[in-house]
Chains A and B, each alone.
With several copies, the nearest count.
Chain A
């Protein structure tokens, strides 16, 4: 492992995480559709890995999402640490039995006999006119399922460190990337050596005092931009990135809200019964007396994702809507 300071994009962070874990632990393997070289994955996240680690450990599969995740599970139950890739989170609809009835529950159903160390990597999110079957953000479903951990990195550093932690975790982890972040050329320096970000620890991406914004994945970036903007008008926004939605660092969220007394939850998934509902319910229950205004949600509209950029832009949160949400909880600036 390199000890040089490295500057990585989000995609490179993920790639490095897998390379490092494949190198470190011979029980790690990757499987998924079109992940092998020379193609290297539909978002090129696994590029170079089958060349380096061979086609046995980095395996292209048929288009069989249920068998991919089922095979990963069979591996996980018998001594390996598989990392399955499901190309789009929308395709998780094809393997929900394996994820939910099987992987998430086998430890429990067997009375704790077994560990289930597996990761399902997938990517979601809109912003590329990918339309209704290639652009959802279904984290809320996975958060609802006991036995799953749910991870959503927003930065290259977190992408690297959280994926490494996920691969080392002994539970099924749903690892949700964002397609626009995968394409983002933004790079940042990552710590030397073995950079692991523990699951279950939120990160305050920006400190502030007037309002707490809890944001996930790409929405963290947008929230930070809005925070910069508002700083100019003297509003101090704290941006909390849970990073792992399950286990959720409730205390970090509550601590921030108890300080700012106002909260906005921002995510890209559909609003109704989305992740924001859980966070709003949590805050409303546990920080009831601390709240000076209702918790606002800024989320994906309750509509499928349309194709046209004009329409797509109307249904996913953007900076203007985030700003409006913040202004609303601040009582209108």
Chain B
């Protein structure tokens, strides 16, 4: 078969953008793990390595004005939505130039200008907030949609239920994207719920539930695009379950003893970046060398972000007392 760039159904520029974003996430996370392990970053760190296709596939379906809410494991979602690596990295360092002037850290990254309504340290908390944003779009008469990322574990929180029910009752433009990586911290999904697919929960609200291969960025993009379109057309919310995996521990430092190593290895065989690169190569959109070039460029960007962060001042202790009230 002759390579056909059109075979992937998207303009090459879009495909390349997605590819670059996936690498940006990978490179950012790898570097962050390194830095954290070396003791340079305070706090906790949860890496999204392995889940890049869910982040990028989803955000590729969004407009800049659209919103996301994210999770404790949110770097990838935020990078995919346009988050700046330098300000993110500076925030991970707790510096004055970080997104949150050092007040938020990894679990509390925000960029309201980019529609990033926040990572969140509370499992499940992003869902109702996304519903509110969608309500706001409705009332203000804009075409915005909101996406709420959350994990398989979060699907057992009351907030999940209330948010899906409210969004469906009001037929709001929300796409609930479950990044199902089969574990919540150490606990496998079967110890947390007795269902095969989280997507089946959609029916409890009259909401379509769609399962998608979370390692396939194009599939994710397609499913989310359809959901976004439905939402914008007044068709209400959708529940998307992206089956994925985190390649590392729950947090950096977690040895992950609760996961069989064969399972981890099997998933790693389906590395979403490699899978996408194979598709891109097949379609003649991007060759190995060009891909390596992207990786190198992105790693440089991350290096620059680290330099930026390191060179940034610590916040003034007095600023700890600012921003409590507007």
Contacts and interface: CB of A to CB of B under 8 A. Distances in A.
Q: A and B: partners?
A: yes
Interface of A: 27, 29, 33-34, 36, 38-39, 42, 56-57, 59-80, 82, 90-91, 93-94, 97-98, 101-102, 106-116, 128-134, 146-147, 149, 170-171, 301-304, 306-315
A87 to B, nearest CB: 9
Contacts of A42: 185
Nearest 9 pairs of A and B residues by beta carbon:
A74-B132, A70-B128, A308-B94, A307-B105, A39-B186, A133-B121, A111-B101, A308-B102, A67-B162
A310 B185 contact: no
A59 B128 CA distance: 16
B154 interface: yes
Contacts of B187: 33-34, 39, 60, 62
Contact of A113 (B100, B135, B314): B100
Contact of B103 (A57, A101, A109, A116): A109
Interface string B92-107: 0011001111111111
A149 B325 CA distance: 9
Which size class do B's interface residues fall under?
35 or more
Given A62-B162, A171-B325, A71 B135 contact: yes
Contacts, number: 270
A63 B123 contact: yes
A112 B323 contact: yes
Contacts of B117: 74, 77-78
Contact of B104 (A71, A98, A110): A110
B300 interface: no
Given A62-B156, A77-B112, A310-B314, A131 B319 contact: no
Contacts of B98: 111
Nearest to B123: A63
B191 interface: yes
Interface in B107-144: 107-108, 110-112, 117-118, 120-125, 127-140
Interface stretch (B11-19, B163-171, B229-237, B270-278): B163-171
B100 A109 contact: yes
B315 interface: yes
Given A33-B187, A132-B121, A301-B321, 18 more contacts: A62-B162, A64-B165, A74-B117, A74-B133, A74-B135, A74-B146, A80-B140, A90-B121, A102-B120, A106-B118, A109-B118, A302-B324, A303-B324, A304-B324, A306-B103, A307-B102, A308-B42, A310-B314
A63 B184 contact: yes
Interface of B: 42-44, 67, 91, 94-95, 98-108, 110-112, 117-118, 120-125, 127-140, 146, 153-154, 156-159, 162-163, 165-166, 169-170, 184-187, 191-193, 257-258, 314-315, 317-326
Contacts of B258: 38-39
A316 to B, nearest CB: 10
Contact of B129 (A56, A61, A70, A115): A70
Given A60-B191, A171-B326, A310-B102, A66 B129 contact: no
Nearest to B257: A38
Given A98-B125, A171-B326, A302-B324, A70 B105 contact: no
28 contacts: A56-B139, A60-B186, A62-B165, A62-B187, A64-B166, A67-B131, A67-B166, A70-B159, A70-B163, A74-B132, A76-B132, A77-B132, A98-B125, A107-B326, A108-B323, A110-B118, A111-B101, A113-B99, A116-B326, A131-B108, A301-B320, A307-B43, A307-B100, A307-B106, A307-B108, A310-B315, A311-B94, A315-B320
Contacts of A63: 123-124, 153-154, 156-157, 184, 192
B112 A133 contact: no
Contacts of B122: 90-91, 93-94, 97, 101-102, 133
Nearest to B172: A71
Contacts of B136: 74-75, 78-80
Candidate in B98, B103, B136, B158 with the most chain A CB atoms within 10 angstroms: B103
Contact of A109 (B110, B133, B137): B110
A93 B121 CA distance: 13
B287 to A, nearest CB: 41
B277 to A, nearest CB: 34
